[in-house]
Amino acid sequence: MARREISILGFSFLDAMTCGFGAVVLLFMVINASVDLRATQLTSDLRAEADRLEVEVLEGHENLVELRNSLREIEDENVLAQGLSRRMLQTIEELRDELATYDQLTLARREHINQLMADLKSLEESTKRLSGGVPSDEVPGDRIRTHIGDGDRQYLTGLKVGGNRIFILVDSSASMLDSTIVNIIRRRNLPDQRKIRSKKWQQAVGTIDWVTTQLPRESSFQLYTFNEEAQPVLDGTEGQWLDSGDAEVLDDAVLSLKKVIPEKGTNLYNGFRAIEAIQPPPDNIILLVDGLPTQGRTPPKKRTVTGRQRAKLFRSALERLPSGVPVNVILFPMEGDPAAPSAYWQLALATRGAFLSPSGDWP
């Protein structure tokens, strides 16, 4: 059998092809491994970025919720502020209407007061002519207290301070701070000591001081103040009569009155109820006021009151006044209440009392 010849060139080609294929496979594997590594690293970076963005989105949602809550609170506050603003505007409008009403009534009130003052002066002159200018028939030295005045101020005034039981009722509401509405509003916000030193209130206190010097020695008295409620100036004496012959009691009563602070509204109904409650009833009433009441039997529904309503409150208060007792009225007229002088003058006339509207420097 003949030997087969082997071609060296054929084996070399196959080896070269095999080596080349192996090199290609090895290169592919190296490149694929490098790509997988880069892809894994890139995926990790993208996942981290996605996580970061997700956290930012969650934080954004939380901030959005907080902003919505804040916006809701701001809207609620805005609604509340609008409501307060409307109420303030309504109050301002009511005050403007009230001031406009007072301005319209001021001229009529002044003319009415001037006419009443002229009538009063004429009556005083007639009284002096009838009495021959003679002072009171009192025995000198019979008075318990004295009040130093000037000239005519110690002569007959027409005010009736006699009787066995004399009830003195003094208006201590905020209107006693001044005679004008604007100054009353301004003064009621002052400290208490400055309220007490108000000129109008000091004149009222001085008037009552003078009245106590005219009380008969053998009589009894009681001194009350009233604003929204009525109370005695001496604590613990409610419903009791005090001895006019006791100088110490009179001094204590006047001293306590000097410490009273004018404040709050005017409720004449409660003032007359205090007179009605004391027993035995008085046989003489001295009433010091500056205008018609602003409150009555029930609490007021509005902050302002019209002149017609004040007149109605006055008539309602008269129902609590004991019948048959003279009422001596001392009126310190104020701005914006033109009906007061006529109403109180008629009260004094109907009860056989006296009506006095003193000048600014009396007593």
5 in a structural domain:
no
CA distance 165 to 241: 7
Same domain, 249 and 336: yes
* In contact, 181 and 104? CB cutoff 8 Å: no
Domain match, 315 and 247 both: yes
My answer on whether 115 and 167 are in the same domain is no
Q: Say if residue 109 is exposed, middle or buried (CB neighbours under 10 Å; 0-12, 13-18, 19+).
A: buried
Quick: pLDDT tens for 305-333.
898 999 999 999 999 999 999 999 999 98
Beta-carbon contacts of residue 203 (< 8 Å; ≥ 6 apart)? 332, 358, 360, 362
Residue 329, domain member (yes or no): yes
Do residues 93 and 175 share a domain?
A: no
231 and 347 fall within a common domain: yes
The contacts found for 358-362 with CB under 8 angstroms, 24 or more apart, are 358/203, 358/207, 358/330, 358/332, 360/203, 362/153, 362/203, 362/207
**What pTM was computed for the model?**
0.61
What CATH number has the domain bearing residue 239? 3.40.50.410
Low-confidence ranges of the chain (pLDDT < 50): 132-141, 148-156
Q: Does 312 share its domain with 195? A: yes
Helix axes 268-277 and 307-318, enclosed angle (nearest 10): 10
Cis-peptide into 280, omega within 30 deg: yes
Among the candidates 131, 147, 181, a domain finishes at 131
Which pLDDT score, from 0 to 100, does residue 138 have?
A: 44
Residue 154 lies in a domain: no
pLDDT value for 4? 59
Within a domain: 143 = no
Range of the domain at 351: 160-298+306-356
Q: What is the distance of C-alpha 356 from the center of its chain?
A: 31
Backbone angles phi, psi at 356, to 5 degrees: -135, 130
Is residue 148 situated within a structural domain?
no
DSSP assignments along 241-283, one per residue: -EETT-HHHHHHHHHHHHTPPP-S---HHHHHHHHHHSSSPPS
Q: Among 113, 131, 149, give the residue marking a domain's end.
A: 131
| 182 and 257 share one domain | yes
Same-domain check for residues 171 and 241: yes
As a whole number of Å, the CA-based R_g of the chain is 48
Residue with tokens 């021959």: 132
pLDDT at 143: 55
Total domains in the chain come to 2
Cα distance between residue 269 and residue 263, in whole Å: 17
> 10 lies in a domain?
no
Does residue 351 share a domain with residue 205? yes
216 & 320 share domain: yes
From 131, 150, 179, the end of a domain falls on 131
Nearest in space to 204 (alpha carbons), one of 135, 143, 283, 260 = 260
Tell me 352's DSSP state.
T
Q: Are residues 175 and 323 in the same domain?
A: yes
* CA distance to 123, 211, 252, 357, per residue, from 131 (Å): 12, 21, 35, 21
Strands 230-232 and 220-226: what pairing?
antiparallel
Task: Give the pLDDT of residue 135.
Answer: 45
Residue 331 placed within a domain: yes
200 and 319 inside one domain: yes
Q: Could you tell me if residue 313 is inside a domain? A: yes
